[in-house]
Amino acid sequence: MTTDIAILGGGDFGWGLAAAATRTGKQVLLWSRRPQREATDSITVTTELERAALAELIIFAIPSIYVTEVAQQLATHIDGSHLLVHISRGIVGENLLSLTQVLRQQTPCRRIGALAGPVVAHALQQGKPSAAIIGSRFPEVQAAVRDALSSENFQVYATDDVLGVELASTVVGLLSLAIGYARHNGLHPSTLAMLVTRGLREASQLGVRLGARAETFHGLAGTGDLFAALAGDDRPELTVGARLAAGAATADAGTEAGTYIEGILGARWIASYLDRINCEMPVLRLMNEVFEGRMGGTEFFTRLMTLDVDGE
């Protein structure tokens, strides 16, 4: 069987992307260390990572903490002709290294992108109308992703601001945790709106400082993704945030929800970066304090409402 697209990761999102690709008539190779589902007529399941090289387009649908390792293992099997894309919400390390930078460092590939936006695994698997955005500086990466995934029920938009897409998606992951946390504690909708609006504003300021464009944070990768979280799209971050609010330990909340959550570690790295550059972004800092277990709900809401107010 020919392979049109390779997807690395046998979790719900990997299978969701595979399902979306089969709707466009593509033959999919899905790699997983421990496959939990059976192959289909259009989806071949393998534990042999080197087989991913059979496809020009390779999508990393794995948590950010595993991307470096898998990229290193894949690197000896691929070359500059391959197109790499990731869907992780994470960043790596206290220097806020983006995953496209990681993939560029660890592999011979240069044509790389990031897929993000208001889409969740079950919507992809069930073919519900949804949308995403592919960020890449390479038009051929944008075209390949849109060709592989776009259908009448799944619209894929594009931008060349790949860093903005990655940072916006990362911070939306943090804010989604905060939404779940705040809702569990009965936060009023108007206060919740203030939390996410100010948090995203800080994220756009951080993004501009790092080289991204502010408008990207107000598109599908940022505001659009947040709208879906506020509407209650059943993303796992909402569940984990609620578990944290209910008293679950940070180390246990993701395990109890049956998923790995990148936002908790990302919040720590962002807070550390802000300390190093002596930059005040209070909402992002407050979220880290909560996720690290150093601040409870009452103090969080009190601090949120007593932040210094500046211009919009």
Residues paired with 285 in a beta bridge: none
Lowest mean pLDDT among 12-21, 43-52, 199-208, 283-292: 283-292
Where does the chain hold its CATH 1.10.1040.10 domain(s)? 163-305
pLDDT at 53: 96
Q: What's the rounded mean pLDDT across residues 212-232?
A: 95
pLDDT per residue over 101-111, tens digit each? Answer: 999 999 999 99
Q: What is the pLDDT of residue 103?
A: 97
pLDDT in tens, 227-275: 999 998 888 889 888 988 888 877 677 665 556 677 788 888 999 999 8
CA distance 154 to 136: 19
Measured CA to CA, the distance from residue 83 to residue 59 in angstroms comes to: 8
The per-residue pLDDT of the chain, averaged, comes to 91
Q: Which band of pLDDT confidence, cut at 50, 70 and 90, is reported for residue 29?
A: very high
For residue 145, count CB atoms less than 10 angstroms from its CB and return exposed for 0-12, middle for 13-18, buried for 19 or more.
buried
In the chain, CATH 3.40.50.720 sits at 5-160
**pTM, rounded to two decimals:** 0.93
Q: Which residue has the higher pLDDT, 90 or 311?
A: 90
* DSSP, res 211: T
For residue 46, the model assigns a pLDDT of 96
Taking only the tens place, the pLDDT of each residue in 109-142 is: 999 999 999 988 989 999 999 999 999 999 999 9
Classify each residue of 10-24 as buried b or exposed e, where b means 16 or more C-beta atoms within 10 Å of its C-beta: bebbbbbbbbbbbbe
Question: What Å distances lie between residue 138 and 73, 134, 166, CA to CA?
Answer: 24, 10, 15
With beta carbons less than 8 A apart as the criterion, state whether 160 and 221 touch.
no
Contact (CB, 8 A) for 33 and 61: no
Share of the chain above pLDDT 90, in %: 65
Could you tell me the pLDDT band of residue 309, with boundaries at 50, 70 and 90?
A: low
Question: Can you tell me the mean pLDDT for 154-169?
Answer: 97
Residue the block writes with tokens 């020919």: 2
d(CA 111, CA 284): 31
Domain 5-160, what fold? Rossmann fold (3.40.50)
CB 103 within 8 A of CB 109: yes
The CATH topology of domain 163-305 is N-(1-d-carboxylethyl)-l-norvaline Dehydrogenase; domain 2 (1.10.1040)
* Alpha helices for the chain (secondary structure H): 12-23, 64-75, 99-106, 121-126, 139-149, 162-184, 189-210, 225-231, 236-245, 250-256, 263-276, 282-291, 297-305
pLDDT of amino acid 153: 94
Region 169-189: mean pLDDT is 91
Neighbours of 30 (CB within 10 A): 26
Tokens standing for 267?
A: 């919040």
CA dihedral (76, 40, 65, 173) positive or negative: positive
How far apart are alpha carbons 30 and 165 in whole angstroms? 25
What percentage of the chain reaches a pLDDT higher than 70?
A: 95
